[in-house]
Amino acid sequence: MPIFVSFVMGPKDAYFFNSPTHWAWRNLPPDVEALFTKQPPIKDVVEFALGENGTYFVSYRDHDGEVYCRHYNLPNPLTEYLYCGHPRIMRDLATLSISIGPWESYYAHDKTSASWSNLPSSLEKALLHRLVSQDSWKTIWKEEGREAPSFVSLGADGSYFMRTVKGGGSWDLKGREKEEGLRGTNDFLEKTPDFTGVAGLYLFPQHSASYILLLTSGKAFSNLPEHTWEDYNKMAPALPPLIQTLSPIPCVPQARPTSQTRMPPPQTHQQIQQQPQLQPPQAAGWVPNPSAGHPAGTYFRGHLVQRAGAGPVPPPVTWPYITGHAPLGAFGATQFSNPYDAQVGTFSNSDGSVGGYNASTSGGDAGGSSGGSTAMSNS
């Protein structure tokens, strides 16, 4: 079962960051936080989504290996999609992904079906352009499914990012005129020939200037609120490389060879504003993800209430975390061809096919609380 890399932020400084080896969270709804202290402990978090007015969805693999879910206050169309008139959820929880945006908007999909409501008009146009047919149980996309969206993120004020299985996509970053990091990220998306090297761009409705751009190499570039820095700076160096499968699901993490030495990325240039280098915390709030297979008895397996001495302290952070835009060379690509055609709202993939629809901006450019945090890690 794939454990997707995901980053979620909500109101009241709430967040949940997830990878195959680390969990970190703060100020989540009580029913969700209870999952992380229950006994026997859960093994994995499969999917998590946060919305306004207490809305959430969480799916998790429990101690018995089965996948369960909890949710609250979901938009009615999303609830109908999940249950389809039955007393229990009918979707494949192992591959189900949900993105919740403002105004009860959402995009949900598993390996065979998809559903959405109240999306930005340019995103819905991009979806319908790729769609062949759709019913309650099966969604068929063009090019034998290669045009299926595999990653969708909904941000503030109608901003969004969508990536397809074959590496096409669509985006619109509404706040890029005001925020330097988003402007630089938009430039990067415009100049890259396709999204085969982009695992996802995480946007956050309650934090319009924040984002995390995750590449398939495992490198991440971000602009995040300060209250997330400590946990994010612990997790980012351990993010694995990812690969897009032929299924319409997010990129799947790949295990790094144990003999592989991780070289630090090249130093960034003067225009990059770095987040402070964080030292290991004095109180160990990090414990191993139980699914990582560490020897029994070495760690507190899920006992998050045991803050002191609960697990190994992660090493000092050496990655240059970025709060603004990195030059294109920092993304591992210093030269790009410009494959745009004359039609506003489209770009071409490297094979010459149209890759997606991007929203046009007003300027005419094509663009596509209180409380501590808790984390689990496998250092």
Alpha carbon distance 110, 216 (integer Å): 21
Whole-angstrom Cα distance, residue 162 to residue 201?
Answer: 8
Please name the amino acid found at residue 57: F
Q: Could you say which DSSP state residue 176 is in? A: G
pLDDT tens string, the chain, 379 residues long: the values are 567 899 999 998 999 999 887 889 999 999 999 998 899 999 999 999 999 999 999 999 999 999 999 999 999 999 999 999 899 999 999 999 999 999 999 999 999 999 999 999 999 999 999 999 999 899 999 999 999 999 999 999 999 999 999 999 999 998 666 777 888 999 999 999 999 999 999 999 999 999 999 999 999 999 999 999 999 999 998 899 999 998 898 998 886 554 443 344 443 333 333 444 333 333 333 334 444 443 333 222 233 323 334 444 333 332 333 333 333 333 332 222 222 222 223 333 333 333 333 333 333 333 333 344 555 544 3
The token duo for 185 is: 């990220």
Distance from C-alpha of 81 to C-alpha of 97, rounded to nearest angstrom? 13
Alpha-carbon distance 235 to 289, whole Å?
13
- Domain regions of the chain by residue span: 6-376
Task: Judge contact between 130 and 147, C-beta under 8 A.
Answer: yes
For the chain, helix (H) and strand (E) counts, in that order, are 5, 25
**CB burial of residue 285 (10 Å; 0-12, 13-18, 19+):** buried
Buried b vs exposed e over 272-284: b needs ≥16 C-beta within 10 Å? beebeebeeeeeb
Distances (CA, A) of 185 to 325, 334, 356, 361, 368: 6, 14, 17, 15, 10
Give yes or no for a contact between 368 and 170, defined as CB atoms under 8 angstroms apart.
yes
DSSP string, 303-339: -TT--TT-SPPPPPP-S--BSSPPPGGGGT-------
